[in-house]
Amino acid sequence: MADLSTKFTGIRFENPFLLSSAPPTESDSNIMRAFDAGWGGVVTKTIGLHPVVNVKGPKTKFLRADNNGYRISMNKRPESTLLASWNWELISDKPLDWWIGKLSRIKKAYPAKILVASIMAGSGNDKELHNWQTLTKACQDEGVDALELNFSCPHMDRVDMGSNVGKDKVLCSVVTQAVKQVAKVPVWVKLTPATADIVEEAQASFRGGADAISSSNTFPSLPVIDPNTLEFEMNVEGYVSSGGLGGPAILPLSLAKMSQMTKALPDKEFSGIGGVSTFDHALCYFLLGCGTVQVCTAAMLDQAIGPKAVRLSGRIRIF
The catalytic residue positions are 153
Q: How far apart are the first and last CA of the chain?
A: 19
Q: What is the DSSP letter of 156?
A: -
* CA pair distance 277, 223, nearest whole angstrom: 22
Q: Extract the runs of DSSP E, i.e. beta strands, from 14-141.
A: 17-19, 41-43, 60-66, 72-73, 80-87, 114-119
Amino acid at 259: S
Give the DSSP H/E element, type plus range, for residue 293: strand 292-295
Q: What is the DSSP letter of 47?
A: B
CB 94, CB 26: distance < 8 Å: yes
Query: Which 3 state secondary structure label does DSSP give 292?
Result: strand
Q: Are strands 187-191 and 311-313 parallel, antiparallel or unpaired?
A: unpaired
CB 193, CB 216: distance < 8 Å: yes
Give the burial class of 115: count Cβ atoms within 10 A of its Cβ; 0-12 exposed, 13-18 middle, 19 or more buried: buried
Amino acid at 146: A
Closest CA to 96 of 161, 53, 45, 167: 45
The length of the chain is 319
Contact partners, residue 17, CB within 8 Å, separation at least 6: 39, 40, 41, 282, 292, 293, 294, 295, 309, 310, 316, 318
